[in-house]
Each structure stands twice: as structure tokens, then as C-alpha cells.
Amino acid sequence: MPTNSARRDYFPRLPLFGAGAVIGLSLLAAIAGRLSGDGKMQPTATLVAERELMFEDRADGAVVIVNAANNKTIQVMTGQNGFVRGTLRGFARTRHMNGLGEFLPFRLTSWSDGRLILFDPSTGRHVDIEAFGTANEAIFGALLSPSLYTS
């Protein structure tokens, strides 16, 4: 009568080698694509509007938005502006870590495909505003209104 210790569990080797080959080929294809640049999507959208803005966080909780082109205040946001403050805090933290000043301008751009991007040229960091919902997009989108810059 055979004992359990004499019995040997067997796992088929061919499927195991096949799975390893698939994983290896996938890694090689990913590396080759990354190195060759194939598969990168080139943006096809065109620039609709662009503004250089500076933001000042006041002690009373307001956010002062300044047109960087002429140093004129275009808007003072008071009350519930948590998204604006939170976004700017993240940018300020990145600038602080890089030893940069806080009063350098940001670039707010609107694109023909609907993207609204806040970009910090001093650090290279950007935020796709539309990813945070229509209410937050409307807040930043209003900053591109030509009426703010005509007077």
C-alpha cells in the first residue's frame, strides 16, 4: 500500500513555460514601445485661450487673482473656494520644495478638445482642471473670460 509521502504532486510544465513566455514577450514589447516612441498620442487639439495669472492667498481666506501681464487684480475669490486653494497649495508646495518664489505666474489654458489646464512653467507641473468636475472647471474657466481683461 503506497504512502502519501511516496506520492508526488505533478504540475504540467508546458503551461507554466507558456505563461512565462507570454509575460516575457509582453515586457519586451512594452520596453520596445517606450524606447521607440511608438504608441505616443500626439495632441490634436488647438489652443483656444491662454492667460498668465498670479494667485495670492490672503490671511482672511480670500484668493486674489492677478493678471500677470499688467499686475492688475482681476478677481478676489472669497467664501467657499476650497478647490482653488487646495490646487494652489499643491503648486506652492512643489515650488517651495524647488526653492522657487511664490509670485511667479501660472498659465491657464483652454483647448479645443475641452481640456482646461493650469500649468506652472517654473516647475513643469500641471493639473487638468476638467478632471475635477464641472463646478471646479467653471471656476477656473471663468478666469479666461475676455471681459476680465478689457478694462
Q: 100-114: per-residue pLDDT in tens?
A: 877 789 999 999 998
Q: Is pTM, for the whole model, over 0.95?
A: no
Q: What is the mean pLDDT of residues 20-47?
A: 81
The answer to whether residue 59 scores a pLDDT higher than 60 is yes
Q: Bigger pLDDT: 95 or 3? A: 95
Do 115 and 45 touch, CB atoms closer than 8 A? yes
Does the pLDDT at position 133 exceed 80?
A: yes
The pLDDT, as a whole number, for residue 92 is 85
Rg (CA), the chain: 26
Q: CA 5 → CA 12, 13, 80, 139, distances in Å?
A: 20, 22, 71, 72
Please tell me the predicted confidence (pLDDT) of residue 39: 60
Rounded Cα distance between 26 and 29, Å, is 5
